[in-house]
């Protein structure tokens, strides 16, 4: 059954609208109201990268939002699903998500759920996967100890490296997302680890929220991931830096904590359709996504 274009809640009604038609300052105020750090510029980047709906009241105030980011015909991530807790309990979140389902029909879906939203996604048959650790703080490069010997050459990435970045990201993420990587690269600084002229690890870093975010990061080992992340930490030492990772132990997780980015919060990766393991490349030297592009983008 086709979902309704309006929803009656308590004493007022909500109507659906295209997120493209909403002023950035209203979207910014919408996310600030729930404590999310997105700047107006971050919203604009997301609108350029995906599609979405907003829930509006009778006078055009934004009461809810939901976005999706399609990668090919078979996969999409879902994010920026924001409603107040009160409206969620009254069905606003489910109403928005059903509108999203109509647009992404037939695709496997992945999202990162806050604690407040997990019940909603469970009710929609999303399955829990892995915890994401939101690591952030004022970055500081470790001054004690020496980095492990880097096997390969670390250098700044340039536009000629984009095809290799796309291929390595697809191996780590499980889905090819060429358009998104190209868009991220245009807004980012990047470092890559090359072994015999082959890209084996990379880390992008771009302005986001309160400072900068490092991600995505793809590598075959903790040592390789650190080789491409460490230069970003050095460059942003003394300023706010964030990394969202599934890694809860090991050298990479320890490095983040010791570099001024302890775990601030967690969200839960959830899937509908194929699970994360279904997308895994496999093998002892397979690329791994060490850091997400963002919680919204995966």
pTM of the model: 0.92
3-state SS, residue 205: strand
98 and 148 in one domain? no
Quote the DSSP letter at residue 176.
Answer: -
| Predicted pLDDT at 145 | 47
Any domain includes 296: no
Pairing of strands 211-219, 240-245: parallel
End-to-end CA gap in the chain: 30
* Ranges of the chain whose pLDDT falls below 50: 145-146
89 and 25 in one domain? yes
Report H helices in 140-221.
Answer: 162-173, 178-186
Any domain includes 298: no
Q: What is the pLDDT of residues 24-74, one digit of tens each?
A: 999 999 999 999 999 999 999 999 999 999 998 888 889 899 999 999 999
| Predicted pLDDT at 57 | 82
176 and 268 in one domain? yes
CATH number of the domain at 11, please: 3.40.630.30
CATH number of the domain at 194, please: 3.40.630.90
Burial environment of residue 70 by CB neighbours within 10 A (0 to 12, 13 to 18, 19 or more): middle
Any domain includes 194: yes
Any domain includes 121: no
53 and 162 in one domain? no
140 and 37 in one domain? no
How many domains does the chain fold into?
Answer: 2
Domain hosting 43: range is: 6-106
Any domain includes 38: yes
99 and 141 in one domain? no
Any domain includes 116: no
Any domain includes 238: yes
Q: Can you tell me the distance from the alpha carbon of 262 to that of 212, in angstroms, rounded to the nearest whole number?
A: 15
Any domain includes 147: yes
Quote the DSSP letter at residue 38.
Answer: -
Q: Can you tell me the distance from the alpha carbon of 107 to that of 100, in angstroms, rounded to the nearest whole number?
A: 11
Distance set, CA 84 to CA 62, 100, 122, 150, 281 (Å): 11, 18, 18, 47, 38
Residue where a domain terminates, one of 67, 89, 106: 106
Q: What is the pLDDT of residues 23-33, one digit of tens each?
A: 999 999 999 99
């Amino acid at each position: 059954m086709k979902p309704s274009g309006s929803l009656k809640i308590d004493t007022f009604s909500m109507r659906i609208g295209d997120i493209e038609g909403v002023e950035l300052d209203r979207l910014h105020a919408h996310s600030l109201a729930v404590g999310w750090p997105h700047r107006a510029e971050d919203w604009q980047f997301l609108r350029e990268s995906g599609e979405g709906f907003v829930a509006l009241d009778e006078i055009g105030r934004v009461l809810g939002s939901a976005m999706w980011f399609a990668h090919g015909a078979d996969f999409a991530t879902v994010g920026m699903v924001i409603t107040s807790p009160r409206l969620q309990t009254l069905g606003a979140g489910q109403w928005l998500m059903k509108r999203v389902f109509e647009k992404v029909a037939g695709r496997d879906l992945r999202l990162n759920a806050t604690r407040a939203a997990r019940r909603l996604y469970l009710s929609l048959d999303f399955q829990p996967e892995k915890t994401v650790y939101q690591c952030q703080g004022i970055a500081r490069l470790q001054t004690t100890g020496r980095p492990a010997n880097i096997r390969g050459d670390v250098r700044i990435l340039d536009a000629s490296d984009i095809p290799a970045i796309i291929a390595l990201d697809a191996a780590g993420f499980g889905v090819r997302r060429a358009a998104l990587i190209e868009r991220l690269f245009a807004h980012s600084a990047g470092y890559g680890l090359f072994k015999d002229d082959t890209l084996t690890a990379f880390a992008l870093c771009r302005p986001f929220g309160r400072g900068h975010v490092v991600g995505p990061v793809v590598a075959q080992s903790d040592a390789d991931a650190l080789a491409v992340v460490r230069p970003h930490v050095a460059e942003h030492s003394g300023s706010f830096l964030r990394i969202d990772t599934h890694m809860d132990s090991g050298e990479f997780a320890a490095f983040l904590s010791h570099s001024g980015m302890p775990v601030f919060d967690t969200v839960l990766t959830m899937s509908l359709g194929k699970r994360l393991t279904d997308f895994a490349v496999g093998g002892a030297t397979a690329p791994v996504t060490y850091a997400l592009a963002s919680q919204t983008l995966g």
